[in-house]
Amino acid sequence: MATFALTVNGKTRQIDASPDMPLLWAIREQVGLTGTKFGCGAAHCGACTVHVDGKAVRSCNVSVREATGKRITTIEGLSDRTDHPVQKAWIEIDVPQCGYCQSGQIMSAAALLAEKPSPTDADIDRAMSGNICRCGTYVRIRAAIHRAAQVSKGGA
Ligand code: FES
Ligand code: FES
User: Which atom of ligand 1 lies at the shortest distance from residue 61's CA?
Assistant: 2
Q: pLDDT of 82-100, one tens digit each?
A: 999 999 999 999 999 999 9
User: Which residues does residue 52 pair with via DSSP β-bridges, in sequence order?
Assistant: 55, 72
d(CA 60, CA 45): 10
Please spell the DSSP secondary structure of 90-139, one letter per residue.
Answer: HHHHT--SS-TTHHHHHHHHHHHHHH-SS--HHHHHHHHTT---TT--HH
What pLDDT sits at residue 155? Answer: 72
pLDDT above 70 coverage of the chain, percent: 99
Ligand 1 center from residue 117 Cα (angstroms)? 26
For ligand 2, say whether the CB of 89 is within 6 Å of any of its atoms.
Answer: no
In the predicted structure, residue 144 carries a pLDDT above the cut 90: yes
What pLDDT sits at residue 49? Answer: 98
d(CA 92, CA 36): 22
In the predicted structure, residue 156 carries a pLDDT above the cut 80: no
Ligand 2 center from residue 1 Cα (angstroms)? 35
What pLDDT sits at residue 66? Answer: 97
Ligand 1 center from residue 153 Cα (angstroms)? 31
Mean pLDDT on 10-22: 96
Q: What is the distance in angstroms between the CA of the first residue and the CA of the last residue of the chain?
A: 52
Nearest residue to 6 via CA among 20, 23, 21 = 23
User: Which atom of ligand 2 lies at the shortest distance from residue 135's CA?
Assistant: 2
